[in-house]
């Protein structure tokens, strides 16, 4: 993926999977991914809370949600469920390993178009990643919304879909209570509630993200002055791909979140209820938070990922790789 747009003779156009030292790549990749997730996690909490609410009962928008959560719950409210969600690092390793190996496999099979390989790699990687991370998502999303105030006046209530005891404030107690309750109510299936919705939302999202990322990268490279940094072009192409994908897939992400938290109905039923509630608002509900997260995440994750690939490249290729 790296340096695809370089046409300078002697330079490596793509840093492939077998060109990297994995002992360097995996630790550096985990550190980079964890740092990005720490910075952007509040957007995930805000996005989830806005998606779950009906209309604008609790929050009018991203800034309003940020202000209210910070005022009533402090900085900890913006990081509810973070350590459970941090297990995404495991799925992240599986994701990128699958992505790179699928790309390499297709290249060996004679498919050299970078966009096609990126789409297939992104779809397969997301399928593997979601299979690992959905149980952690179910728990972390319940933590994100636990204690959220919904409604106004005499209709005001505290959201607690699992009826978890709030006597214990410790996060380990809450995690344990959520885990036990989900298992008692639904067994192991409860931890994969919304799995098909997650696959339906994230597999197309991942495939489209990598497709648009490569498309924009190639378009930018064609108009960029000679000698422009490859990494700079990639860091511009990534958020462009992110915002395009977010606009297309936003309704799918809302349905996924509601299925996992509200625990009622099928994908079609939840979408029908959502449409009755929001109409065309289904395309913009939680979109600002998700778009901000996607743009910043895309730029930062590609900056980290492509830099890590360059730092991890084997010695024999170092002189052939351009930043």
Specify the pTM: 0.70
Whether the CB-CB separation of 194 and 259 falls below 8 Å is answered with yes
Joined together, the tokens standing for residue 238 give 């990534």
Strand partners, 149: 158
Instruction: Check residue 147 and give its pLDDT.
Output: 62
Rounded Cα gap, residues 23 and 239, in angstroms: 29
Rounded Cα gap, residues 129 and 126, in angstroms: 5
Q: Roughly what angle, to the nearest 10 degrees, separates helices 287-312 and 195-223? A: 70
The tens place of each residue's pLDDT in the chain, 323 residues long, gives 344 444 454 566 668 888 899 999 999 998 888 888 888 888 888 888 887 777 666 788 788 888 888 988 888 888 887 877 777 788 888 999 999 999 989 988 988 888 899 999 999 999 998 888 888 878 877 777 676 666 565 656 666 666 676 565 566 777 777 888 888 887 887 788 778 777 877 898 899 999 999 899 889 988 888 778 888 999 999 999 999 998 888 887 777 777 766 666 666 777 777 777 777 777 777 788 788 878 888 999 899 988 999 999 998 888 777 77
Instruction: Check residue 312 and give its pLDDT.
Output: 92
Instruction: Check residue 220 and give its pLDDT.
Output: 92
Instruction: Check residue 214 and give its pLDDT.
Output: 87
Instruction: Check residue 143 and give its pLDDT.
Output: 75
Instruction: Check residue 2 and give its pLDDT.
Output: 40
Rounded Cα gap, residues 165 and 178, in angstroms: 10
- What domains lie within the chain, and their CATH numbers? 17-312 (1.50.40.10)
- For 187, residues 6+ apart whose C-beta sits below 8 A from its C-beta are none
Whether the CB-CB separation of 260 and 232 falls below 8 Å is answered with no
pLDDT tens-digit series, residues 191-228:
887 787 778 778 988 999 999 998 998 899 888 887 78
């Amino acid at each position: 993926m790296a340096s695809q747009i370089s046409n300078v003779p002697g330079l490596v156009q793509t840093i492939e999977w077998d060109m990297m030292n994995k002992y360097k790549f995996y630790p550096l990749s985990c550190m980079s991914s964890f740092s990005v997730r720490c910075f952007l996690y509040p957007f995930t909490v805000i996005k989830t809370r806005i998606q779950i609410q009906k209309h604008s009962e609790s929050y009018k928008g991203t800034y309003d949600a940020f202000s209210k959560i910070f005022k009533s719950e402090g900085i900890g409210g913006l990081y509810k469920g973070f350590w459970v969600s941090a297990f995404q690092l495991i799925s992240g390793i599986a994701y990128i390993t699958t992505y790179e190996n699928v790309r390499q496999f297709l290249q060996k099979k004679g498919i050299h178009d970078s966009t096609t390989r990126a789409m297939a790699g992104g779809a397969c990687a997301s399928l593997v990643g979601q299979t690992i991370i959905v149980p952690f998502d179910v728990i972390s999303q319940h933590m994100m919304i636990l204690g959220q105030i919904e409604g106004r006046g005499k209709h005001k209530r505290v959201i607690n879909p699992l009826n978890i005891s709030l006597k214990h404030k410790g996060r380990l107690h809450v995690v344990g209570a959520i885990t036990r309750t989900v298992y008692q109510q639904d067994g192991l299936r409860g931890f994969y509630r919304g799995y098909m919705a997650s696959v339906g939302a994230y597999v197309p999202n991942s495939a489209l993200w990598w497709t648009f990322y490569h498309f924009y990268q190639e378009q930018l490279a064609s108009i960029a002055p000679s000698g422009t940094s490859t990494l700079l072009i990639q860091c511009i192409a990534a958020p462009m791909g992110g915002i395009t994908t977010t606009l297309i897939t936003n309704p799918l992400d809302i349905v996924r979140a509601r299925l996992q938290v509200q625990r009622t109905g099928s994908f079609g039923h939840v979408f029908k209820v959502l449409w009755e509630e929001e109409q065309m608002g289904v395309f913009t509900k939680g979109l600002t938070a998700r778009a901000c997260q996607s743009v910043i995440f895309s730029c930062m994750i590609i900056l980290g990922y492509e830099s890590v690939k360059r730092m991890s490249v084997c010695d024999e290729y170092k002189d052939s790789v351009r930043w």
